[in-house]
Amino acid sequence: MITYRFLTQHCSLALAVALYSQAALAADDLKADPDKRAASTVAAMTLDEKIRTVFGYFSSDFKGVAKPKDGVPYAAGFVPGVERLGIPHQQLTDAGIGVATQPSPAPRVRTSMPAGIASAASWNPALSYAGGAMIGKEARLSGHNIMLAGGVNLQREPRNGRNFEYAGEDPLLSGVMVGEQIRGIQSNQLVATVKHFAYNDQETGRTKVNVKIDDAAGRMSDLLAFQIAIERGDPGAVMCGYNLVNGYYSCENDYLLNRVLKRDWGFRGYVMSDWGATHSTIPAALHGLDQQSGWPFDQSPYFNDALKEAVQNGHVPHKRLDDMARRILRAMYANGLMEHPVRIEADKIDLNAHAKVSQSAAEEGIVLLKNSAALLPLADTYATIAIIGGHANVGVLSGGGSSQVYPAGGSPVPNEGPKTFPGPIVYLPSSPMKALAARMQAKFVYHDGKDAAAAARVAAASDLAIVFATQWTAEDLDQPDLALPHKQDDTIAAVAAAAKKTVVVLGTGSPVTMPWLGAVDAVLEAWYPGTNGGEAIARVLTGEVDASGRLPATFPASISQLPRAAIDGTGLSKEARFDSDYNIEGAAVGYKWFDKKGYQPLFAFGHGLSYTTFAYSGLAARATQGTLAVSFKVTNTGKRDGKAVPQLYVSKVGGGWEAPKRLGGWDKLTLKAGASGESRVSIDPRTLALFDSRSNSWKIAAGTYRVMLAEAADKPVATVSLRLPARQFAAGAR
Ligand code: GLC
């Protein structure tokens, strides 16, 4: 038995206190109560050890600062541990699509999930969890215990270069899908990170833009996505973003960090900055930032000696520094980082099995937008098939920036795009053409599509033309418009005019316009489909699997339908600071904006065709436990097995909301031909409420509400109405 006396005779008093209290903690407390463990360890830390814990480094040589010697090479970040107290190094890696590698001579080969927007398009939370669990396992086996994944920024702006990393325009769909990814990642005893908090919804001037948005509008849109993701995933960390919000940088924004996140939502983890998003010492520490990340990305090492001095001078209370360190340690204890130390064991990564996990998400995220005369799934009767563009003979596209995952053998298209960040453009060596050729008896002819007339001649000489059109999107880079780049619209139009039948497969990170839509027979949105993307596309095209993706974002018919003609900041100098008034649309993001304005989009939120048909019956809703419980039956009335994605939109009779309707819930059912299934869905009560800033609470008004069962935001199937009593609940409740 270690006695207190023994300890005080053999170590410092502070350490004795810590070790004794640690030893005194019952074993089950060790895991069950990370708060107690964290408080106990902080009590034993010296001032320098606390400072060491709240100050993080970039894990590559950068701006003349060498990579930390104990940092995992080419990773995102490193924070030294405190060995004498059993605190491991914090080894940070990006990100939501897989274990990324900072540009380096020898990038790590890891599995790439499909783009976040593709996973969201599956509307299948179980696949998000599985994908998170897989990339988290690869992160652990790569020597990382903190993953900077869980990007949940809303697609407020369809031209945002990072839309591919996120989960679309609706806060409920985004929050659930990213929350499940976070839960999956943390199932590997890692800390996951929900980001970029908040309103980092464009890349143009991302470190200069000041977003203006009212409290209530934000709570019912971007903040609700974060709130749901945090509820579902319980991430150890939140990453604050680059932009300003209502005049204050996100990473020193008392309203966002202390009031909303930590007070209203009761967040017990820690806030890390984005790389280069820390702008001060005292304001940042007092307003809720717990860790500066990625030195030397910032102007100054604010949370190193400067913070120590601020604490010693009393400008930052010592208890605030204790709170910072405790939050970090709590996240580490809560996720088992001390009991499960990481080490690099990359040879244990089962890349084949992991590719299948990625493929499942890719297949269920592919959205069949158009299918005239049931051209798809492809019959195996074509003698010659022309494959045009998109480097479809060698691979599939991926998005650029810090989330970049590198494939085995490197990109099969090595020299496209910027040579520096957020480039290079990386293709993943999974060829749709090869995958089709392995399944069909046709002769395949490839043309790169760069010369529209030549491509049209190849198409004319074939029995079917499949055009692969791509749009590379990336961090730090917004799209200038909604058009496909590099004159691909011309190529598609020319091919469609010459071919007997034309299929278009889109590999985009965001919604695009389609001036050729009327001239083609079928369109698939395959996004960036990940490591086995070619297989996934081929399996959907040939009908080995149903097309079961549904759009997580509205596809506008034109830019004139958007809240702003150009992204704010477009054309300004890199140094210019500017406002972006998100109050124009407020909480009416995406389909809510289109409904509010009465606009007809090209394709609606939730749209997606199947290879079979479904019938719905028995829609019923009842008020229970402060919300609505909805049930209905779905029947596969077609001849093929398929997956249905019934959606539930709620609205208040008499209006008063930011928009006519909101997604309140959904289901996804796999049904054999002729089979039926029952769905029971609980509506998230916040989708029935307005946020009231004065009382800082959600309020469901007494009245009549409609529940619309639909196959898309513009495709209602059945509606029921019922009265609900008034209900008020706290900002952090549901
Ligand atoms: C980047 C990104 C962030 C990433 C971090 C580390 O600039 O904004 O998503 O996790 O830096 O690479």
Q: Extract the tokens encoding 604.
A: 């609606």
Residue having the nearest C-alpha atom to atom 9 of ligand 1:
402
Beta bridge partners of 396: 428
> Cβ(195) to ligand 1 under 6 A?
yes
> Cβ(308) to ligand 1 under 6 A?
no
pLDDT digits (tens, 9 = 90+) for 441-470: 999 999 999 999 999 999 999 999 999 999
Q: Which residue has the tokens 């996973």?
A: 119
Residue 137: in which H helix or E strand, if any? helix 125-141
Dist. CA 520–CA 449, nearest whole Å: 16
- Ligand 1 atom with the shortest distance to the CA of 92: 6
Please list the ranges in the chain whose pLDDT falls under 70: 1-32, 103-106
SS (H, E, C) 573-638: CCCCCEEEECCCCCCCCCHHHHHHHCCCCCECCCCCECCCCEEEEEEEEEEECCEEEEEEEEEECC
* First and final C-alpha spacing in the chain: 47
> Cβ(124) to ligand 1 under 6 A?
no
pLDDT digits (tens, 9 = 90+) for 408-452: 889 999 989 998 999 999 999 999 999 999 999 999 999 999 999
Q: 275 C-alpha to center of ligand 1: Å?
A: 6
pLDDT value, residue 100: 96
- Ligand 1 atom with the shortest distance to the CA of 275: 11
> Cβ(394) to ligand 1 under 6 A?
no
> Cβ(76) to ligand 1 under 6 A?
yes
Q: 228 C-alpha to center of ligand 1: Å?
A: 22
Residue having the nearest C-alpha atom to atom 8 of ligand 1:
274
Q: 431 C-alpha to center of ligand 1: Å?
A: 29
Q: How distant, in Å, are the alpha carbons of 102, 153, 197, 264, 391 from that of 260?
A: 32, 16, 11, 5, 46
Q: 232 C-alpha to center of ligand 1: Å?
A: 23
pTM score, two decimals? Answer: 0.95
Orientation of helix 34-44 relative to helix 13-24, angle to 10°:
160
Q: Give one DSSP letter per residue of 247-314, joined into a string.
A: TEEGGG-HIIIIIIIIIIS---SEEEEPTT----SHHHHHTT--BEEEETSSSS-TTTHHHHHHHHTT
pLDDT value, residue 22: 46
Q: Mutate which of 94, 135, 196, 477 to test ligand 1's pocket (most atoms within 8 Å of Cβ)?
A: 94
Q: 475 C-alpha to center of ligand 1: Å?
A: 9
pLDDT value, residue 31: 52
> Cβ(273) to ligand 1 under 6 A?
no
pLDDT digits (tens, 9 = 90+) for 528-559: 999 999 999 999 999 999 999 999 999 999 99
Q: 294 C-alpha to center of ligand 1: Å?
A: 9
Helical segments of 33-124, H only? 34-44, 47-53, 116-121
pLDDT value, residue 107: 80
pLDDT value, residue 707: 98
> Cβ(393) to ligand 1 under 6 A?
no
pLDDT value, residue 489: 98
> Cβ(148) to ligand 1 under 6 A?
yes
- With the CA atoms of 590, 591, 596 and 599 taken in that order, what torsion angle do they form, in degrees rounded to the nearest 10? 100
- Ligand 1 atom with the shortest distance to the CA of 195: 9
pLDDT value, residue 104: 62
Dist. CA 505–CA 501, nearest whole Å: 13
